[in-house]
Structure 1
Amino acid sequence: MCEEIKATVQKHTQSLRHSKEELNRLNQAIQRLTVEVDGAKSQEEGASGSAKGKLAWLEAALQRAKQDMVRQLREYQELMIVKLGLDFEIATYRKLLEGEESRLGLGFGTGSVTALRSALGSAPTCGPGSAAGAAPPPPPPPPPPAAGSLETSAPGGGCALCGSPGCVGAFSCTGPRGC
């Protein structure tokens, strides 16, 4: 399940990146077209009917580019909402998994998935049983969160996704080992 979420997040992240590049390209096109329209307007007085036609064409192209940019921006915003939701869901599942590991005494305990990855120097993996060797004894379970609240940081501090202190409280993991 974690791999599916990772793949979905990566797909949405790539879509966001493409949308952002497309927005930049459209902004540049709008700037070029605006310069051309302004230049055409200034020459319009002495120009023939073909210049007026070109001006109309450029204005129509500018309008189409603006509409396309608005559409791309909406898609980008929708993808960002999906990405933030997925990041939050990943953090929630990670907290639940670590809590269950600690509760069942599997030796992985709170934050140990990240600590174990760091100790082994391996790439991020999901779920118990993905590491070789014995794990250190689990730390005492963390106090339960206040009613109605959801903590997005690991109980020992740091991000619930990667353990990095720079991500605490964010819905997007920026640490070196986030899923």
Structure 2
Amino acid sequence: MKIKSLIFLFALLSVISFAQTKVNPDDSAIKKSFTYFVNSIKAKKIDQAVSCIYPKFFTVIPKDQMTQILNMTYNNPFMNVEIQGLQFGNIEKPEVFSGEYFSIANYFLKLKCNVSSMNDDMKKKVSSALMSKYGKNNVTYLANEGSYLINANMKTCAISKDKKYWKFVILEKEHKAQLKKVLPQKILDKI
């Protein structure tokens, strides 16, 4: 009986260790590049963050406009948005389209949005917008701080020519039509 138990345990450990070695080898490069992007935003180095965005995306939103949007979001004195955490979910195996690699990565951001300097009407609008975008269960209001805690479940498309350095496009359903100019249809179908 002990031998059967040991064989079963060995087989189970072999299956588990094999499953872990089957991890996408590109995961670490994608995670490293995306973490650099998020940390750039967190450190309010917006130009550095914009350099991490896929260049073709700037045919949809010009680079200077994207810089302004990120500055208004993360350097806004009326609504201070702070990135408190980043976790990765599933990262798909890269697919090749026109000589570039594309991989969809799921990630989770923990955000804190301080709205204490806003009037009540603006706070209600922000609350409504956050709950609409992230879901009621993912937004918590901390009345004592005048802040919202947000658990944002998001997707990005990582794009690379060499599978070492990755650029990104944030994937959101509401912007899918605009992304047709930037991403292959097979990637768009996954949004």
Calculate the TM-score normalised by the size of structure 2. 0.27
**Bigger helix share:** 1
Larger proportion of strand: 2
Pick 1 or 2: higher relative contact order, CA cutoff 8 A, min separation 6.
2
**Structure with greater Cα Rg:** 1
